[in-house]
Amino acid sequence: MTTAEKIMGAGKVLYMINTPNNEIARLLDVSETTVSNWVTKGGWREERAAGLAMKRTMSDNVLFLIDYQMEALKELTEQYRAAGKLKLLDKGEIDALSKLFAAIKGKELTFANVVTFTRELVEFLNQKNPDIAKVVIPYTSDFLLAKKEVMV
């Protein structure tokens, strides 16, 4: 992979996390026109929209299942009360809900934190030594893509 391809890859990663085009251009030391061309020719806008829609759909489905499970637990609780019994809900049901929610939110938050930290590091390097930032940026793209595969 050439340096230009790595820089464009870094631009795509930044674009996909909603970094404004002018900030991408500044961080990667390219023109805003170049970034705009990457977005248009690469179909990044559509890809980002599709990715967001898929995340929303998956999240909506999981939230629906959690709501469904909560309604079932409420109904079970009401049945116990109506029968004059106080019985704890099954630990497995509660654990399953908790783990599902934590797994989904934890992965989203963890990757978002990695991206934010990486952006802050690149920004810091760019302020301290722009030449070093230019060398590091292509590797940050590789790093974020590798992390995304593992975490998401």
- By C-alpha distance, which of 114, 103, 109, 106 is closest to 147? 114
Cβ neighbours around 10 below 10 Å, total:
25
pLDDT at 35 over 80: yes
Query: pTM of the full predicted structure?
Result: 0.46
pLDDT at 36 over 90: yes
Mean pLDDT of the chain: 80
pLDDT at 41 over 90: yes
The Cα 98–Cα 121 span in angstroms is 33
The helix/strand/coil state of 39 is helix
Res 106: pLDDT: 58
Contact assessment for residue 146 and residue 120, using Cβ atoms and an 8 Å cutoff: no
Half-sphere exposure (Cβ direction) of 55: Cα atoms closer than 13 Å: 13
